[in-house]
């Protein structure tokens, strides 16, 4: 494999780091093509002020940053001056407390400090303006150009070739070996060469590391690169008459969208407060024609004026100086703020390593090199995977609107449930009109509108107080995107019956000769079972990590329906299916309803001539049936842990299905229930959510999913790497001791006073009357007391025996 030829496009910090990492793994034919001239080829790296703050709500992003700092420190291109984020509003101060918790979860030193300490750490600061700050002593300044230069030297020493002044003008492709793929896959082309103004470079793999030029290169390859290039202002002052001591931490004043660092006796200040300044990279001057650099545009002083005033207010010493140099530098934002890594779904062999800050560049380059070499990285990269986008999230309008939004919101306090403002609504299920009528409070996921609860259920609250819920004591943060109605919906599901919209659950049809053998080879569980069986199974990667969990329904000898998680699951399956097997994502053309609760059979049976009795229609089986006039595929299973079925049909019949169930169910007390109740019920039942509770970094045995692995069934991806005996940590169920306490996820967990792990999922359990928490922890006996940190407070919790509800499966199997 390492003999494979690779061409990297772009010699910024990403391209240089990637060349270093690939050659370190034995890749011997690595060429880096760069339109400009090293070591300052003119991209974003050439002028990055290099502030590095590692703490991020995403564990993966934090770890990419931690690794970048490690690498840059070893290269002598990092100054660990520390970081200081100041708060000038109570809301920000609270958020910094929450952020200190995130830092603790991800192993980053951080401390919330008072105004006095802030002024000590940053003497030019007006201490009367700040309420406090978050000090992270190991953050600091990356010397991006120097880092790129050293990475380039390492790569050169190991045989890589760097060709400056080679402008890429095209990407060549051919049908995959063996001719065009099966017609239903579309033609799966492979990349073959990169064309430049100075000749053609054949390549088996191409990595676009072109930064904000990514969409231009992508267009040459027929690949959508969902990032928005835009300009961002940075200015440096004249020397301060009384220069501060050297080594000031990097500073953030997020309430005014500002950051600052010291340049000797000057201060550099960047602003995100200005209007959105999108840039068309095709319109930029060439390396030779650019006044400074292609990515450095003329400073627009009028856009900076308000930020300068804000900076002077925070740092009064600035009143004595003025702006010496300013520029509008070009970089990029993606719709969700995460980078674009991995192989493009549209073109085999064409990889991306783009939309990376300097902060994450070296760590991400290492992860991509691992991925290219071994087929997997040692970090969970699903949030960064280029294959994560839904088709509806790949339009130019969506990319522009969400990219601009990501820019303006970059320093905002964002609640984990907060849906994006626009463009909405985008994807709606056929039940949307009814959901609106019922007063749905919509959140968003995968571009789908998803009811969190329904105001129409407010009347249920009159039927008696919902157990706990923390309603009495929920603070404003925990109460956001929450209502006591969530608890009422959970209770109605446990006591009667509820409809859940399952349309957004991704469905894949797999059919054709060889389908069973193919699925056996990519899943962990035994699928060679009679037609009509449903199986819960894992998709493992080669290292035995969990890359998804799925349900596999055998509809015919060689015909299956899979319930999967991410769009990248479809990409993974397509990439492995033999030519005879058809893999089709049917999500958009179909819809589904979960009908769950003790009265589910009383509701459904009268609507059908098919036998839905317990003995005829067994748990974890499926059949085709009719509900009234609507043909459905009915699956007897339940992620909320109650009796019932998932009913799937085509989108055109969805509304009829909903209305049929609704009319028949009202006398039984049927309600529509939202995602809030869904999340609560699944945690009480102990069902894991992929991407949140477990990822490729976790083994099935650690995640408590060993039951879904049949080592004896024959060869399957990941099997050889599995070791049931090796469990050094486990996904552990906790409950909070105080019945009204609530946490939301990602908080650090303390055992005996030190951080021992972090929360993956948490939700109030309305049946048990306590908050249910899952966390990665060293193996602990049930009953062990632990603590979960919430905005700086330690909340008492106890290791529980799972599942908390219905361990004997009496509710679901009857």
Task: List active site positions.
Answer: 232, 259, 549
Among residues 139, 130, 133, the alpha carbon closest in space to that of 56 is found at 139
Contact between 565 and ligand THG per CB under 6 A: yes
CA–CA gap between residue 267 and residue 153 (Å, rounded): 31
CA–CA gap between residue 722 and residue 276 (Å, rounded): 49
505 binds, among ligand FAD, ligand THG, none (CB under 5 to 8 A by kind): ligand THG
Contact between 51 and ligand FAD per CB under 6 A: yes
Least separation, in Å, of the C-beta of 758 and ligand FAD?
Answer: 24
At 305, phi and psi to the nearest 5? Answer: -55, -50
Nearer to ligand FAD, 240 or 355 (CB): 355
Strands (E), 264-313: 266-271, 296-297
Out of 9, 19, 121, 661, name the contact with ligand FAD by CB under 6 A: 9
Q: For the chain, how big is the Rg over CA atoms in Å?
A: 27
CA–CA gap between residue 1 and residue 580 (Å, rounded): 27
Least separation, in Å, of the C-beta of 526 and ligand THG?
Answer: 10
14 binds, among ligand THG, ligand FAD, none (CB under 5 to 8 A by kind): ligand FAD
Do residues 236 and 267 lie in contact, with contact meaning Cβ atoms separated by under 8 Å? yes
CA–CA gap between residue 69 and residue 137 (Å, rounded): 13
Least separation, in Å, of the C-beta of 227 and ligand FAD?
Answer: 10
Site string for ligand THG, 524-563 (x = CB under 6 A): ------------x------------xxx-----------x
710 binds, among ligand FAD, ligand THG, none (CB under 5 to 8 A by kind): none
CA–CA gap between residue 141 and residue 54 (Å, rounded): 11
Site string for ligand FAD, 182-211 (x = CB under 6 A): ---------------------------xxx
Out of 418, 620, 659, 668, name the contact with ligand THG by CB under 6 A: 620
Among residues 467, 444, 619, the alpha carbon closest in space to that of 533 is found at 619
Least separation, in Å, of the C-beta of 565 and ligand THG?
Answer: 5
Nearer to ligand FAD, 56 or 511 (CB): 56
Contact between 213 and ligand FAD per CB under 6 A: yes
> Which residues, in sequence order, are CB contacts of 68 under 8 Å at separation 6+?
52, 142, 358, 359, 360, 361, 362, 363, 364
Preceding peptide of 278 cis, ω within 30°: no
315 binds, among ligand FAD, ligand THG, none (CB under 5 to 8 A by kind): none
Contact between 646 and ligand THG per CB under 6 A: yes
Least separation, in Å, of the C-beta of 130 and ligand THG?
Answer: 46
Contact between 85 and ligand FAD per CB under 6 A: no
**Residue 93 token pair:** 């101060």
Least separation, in Å, of the C-beta of 590 and ligand THG?
Answer: 12
* Residue recorded with tokens 């819960």: 536
- Work out whether the CA dihedral 55, 58, 59, 60 comes out positive or negative: negative
Least separation, in Å, of the C-beta of 692 and ligand THG?
Answer: 11
- Work out whether the CA dihedral 581, 446, 215, 207 comes out positive or negative: negative
Contact between 33 and ligand FAD per CB under 6 A: yes
Nearer to ligand FAD, 332 or 717 (CB): 332
Contact between 12 and ligand FAD per CB under 6 A: yes
Nearer to ligand FAD, 140 or 563 (CB): 140
Among residues 364, 410, 405, the alpha carbon closest in space to that of 385 is found at 364
Binding region for ligand FAD (CB under 6 A) out of 222-230, 328-336, 521-529, 609-617: 328-336
Question: In the 3-class helix/strand/coil scheme, how is 156-200 assigned residue by residue?
Answer: HHCCCEEECCCCEEEEEEEECCCCCCCHHHCCCEEEEEEEECCEE
Q: What is the torsion angle, in degrees rounded to the nearest 10, for the CA atoms of residue 608, residue 614, residue 615 and residue 616? A: 20
Do residues 162 and 36 lie in contact, with contact meaning Cβ atoms separated by under 8 Å? no
Contact between 122 and ligand THG per CB under 6 A: no
Least separation, in Å, of the C-beta of 766 and ligand THG?
Answer: 20
Contact between 357 and ligand FAD per CB under 6 A: yes
Element containing residue 13 per DSSP (H, E) = helix 13-24
Nearer to ligand THG, 301 or 801 (CB): 801
Nearer to ligand FAD, 143 or 710 (CB): 143
Number of H helices, E strands in the chain: 17, 40
Judged by the rule CB under 6 A, the positions of this chain that interact with ligand FAD are 9-15, 33-36, 41-45, 48-52, 144, 167-168, 209-211, 213, 217, 232, 234, 270, 329-331, 354, 356-359, 361
Judged by the rule CB under 6 A, the positions of this chain that interact with ligand THG are 505, 536, 549-551, 563-565, 620, 635, 637, 639, 646, 687
């Amino acid at each position: 494999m390492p003999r494979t030829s690779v061409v990297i496009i772009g010699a910024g910090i990403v391209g240089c780091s990637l060349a270093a990492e690939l050659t370190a793994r034995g890749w011997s034919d690595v060429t880096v093509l760069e339109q400009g001239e090293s070591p300052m080829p003119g991209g974003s790296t050439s002028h990055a002020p290099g502030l590095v703050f590692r703490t991020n709500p995403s564990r993966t992003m934090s770890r990419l940053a931690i690794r970048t700092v490690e690498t840059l420190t070893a290269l002598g291109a990092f100054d660990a001056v520390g970081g200081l984020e100041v708060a000038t509003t109570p809301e920000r101060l609270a958020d910094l407390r929450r952020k200190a918790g995130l830092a603790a979860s991800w192993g980053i030193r951080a401390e919330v400090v008072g105004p006095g300490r802030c002024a000590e750490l940053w003497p030019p600061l007006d201490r009367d303006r700040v309420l406090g700050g978050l000090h992270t002593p190991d953050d600091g300044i990356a010397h991006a150009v120097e880092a790129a230069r050293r990475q380039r030297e390492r790569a050169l020493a190991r045989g890589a070739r760097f060709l400056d002044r080679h402008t890429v003008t095209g990407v060549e492709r051919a049908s995959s070996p063996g001719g065009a793929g099966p017609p239903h896959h579309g033609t799966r082309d492979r990349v073959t060469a990169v064309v430049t103004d100075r000749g053609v470079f054949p390549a088996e793999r191409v990595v676009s590391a072109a930064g904000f030029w990514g969409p231009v290169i992508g267009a040459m390859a027929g690949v959508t690169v969902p990032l928005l290039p835009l300009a961002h202002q940075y200015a440096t002052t004249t020397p301060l008459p009384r220069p501060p001591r050297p080594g000031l931490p990097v500073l953030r004043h997020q309430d005014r969208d500002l950051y600052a660092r010291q340049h000797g006796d000057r201060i550099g200040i960047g602003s995100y407060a200005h209007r959105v300044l999108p840039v068309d990279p095709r319109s930029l001057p060439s390396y030779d024609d650019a006044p400074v650099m292609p990515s450095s545009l003329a400073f627009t002083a009028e856009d900076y004026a308000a930020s300068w005033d804000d900076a002077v207010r925070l740092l009064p010493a600035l009143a004595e100086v003025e702006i010496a140099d300013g520029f509008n530098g070009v970089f990029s934002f993606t719709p969700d703020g995460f980078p674009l890594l991995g192989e493009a779904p549209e073109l085999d062999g064409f990889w991306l390593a783009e939309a990376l800050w300097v902060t994450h560049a070296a760590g991400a380059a290492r992860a991509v090199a691992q991925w290219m070499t071994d087929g997997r990285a040692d970090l969970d990269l699903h949030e960064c995977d280029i294959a994560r986008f839904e088709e509806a999230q790949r339009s130019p309008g969506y990319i522009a609107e969400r990219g601009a939004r990501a820019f303006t919101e970059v320093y905002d306090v964002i609640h984990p449930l907060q849906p994006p403002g626009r463009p909405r609504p985008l994807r709606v299920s056929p039940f949307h009109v009814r959901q609106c009528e019922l007063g749905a409070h919509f959140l968003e996921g995968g571009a789908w509108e998803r009811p969190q609860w329904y105001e129409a259920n407010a009347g249920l609250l009159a039927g008696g107080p919902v157990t706990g819920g923390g309603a009495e004591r929920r603070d404003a943060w925990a109460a956001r995107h929450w209502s006591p109605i969530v608890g009422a919906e959970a209770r109605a599901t446990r006591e009667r019956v509820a409809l859940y919209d399952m349309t957004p659950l991704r469905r894949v049809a797999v059919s054709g000769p060889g389908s069973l053998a193919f699925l056996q080879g990519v899943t962990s569980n035994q699928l060679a079972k009679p037609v009509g069986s449903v199986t819960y199974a894992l998709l493992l990667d080669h290292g035995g990590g969990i890359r998804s969990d799925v349900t596999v329904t055998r509809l015919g000898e060689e015909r299956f329906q899979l319930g999967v998680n991410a769009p990248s699951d479809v990409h993974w399956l397509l990439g492995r299916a033999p030519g005879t097997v058809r893999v089709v994502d049917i999500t958009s053309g179909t819809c589904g309803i979960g009908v769950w609760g003790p009265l589910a059979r009383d509701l459904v049976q009268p609507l059908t001539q098919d036998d839905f009795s317990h003995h005829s229609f067994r748990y974890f089986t499926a059949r085709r049936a009719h509900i009234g006039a609507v043909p459905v595929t009915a699956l007897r299973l339940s992620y909320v842990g109650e009796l019932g079925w998932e009913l799937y049909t085509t989108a055109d019949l969805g509304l009829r299905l909903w209305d049929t169930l609704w009319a028949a169910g009202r006398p039984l007390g049927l309600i529509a229930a939202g995602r809030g109740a869904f999340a609560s019920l699944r945690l009480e039942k102990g069902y894991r959510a992929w991407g949140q509770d477990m990822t490729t970094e976790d083994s099935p045995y650690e995640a408590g999913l060993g039951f879904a692995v049949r080592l004896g069934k024959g060869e399957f991806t990941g099997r050889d790497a599995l070791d049931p005996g090796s469990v050094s940590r486990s996904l552990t169920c906790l409950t909070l001791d105080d019945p009204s306490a609530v946490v939301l996820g990602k908080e650090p967990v303390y055992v005996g006073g030190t951080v021992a792990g972090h929360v993956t999922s948490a939700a109030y359990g309305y049946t048990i009357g306590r908050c249910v928490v899952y966390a990665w922890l060293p193996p602990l006996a049930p009953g062990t007391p632990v603590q979960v940190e919430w905005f700086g407070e330690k909340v008492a919790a106890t290791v529980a025996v799972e599942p908390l509800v219905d361990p004997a499966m009496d509710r679901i199997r009857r």
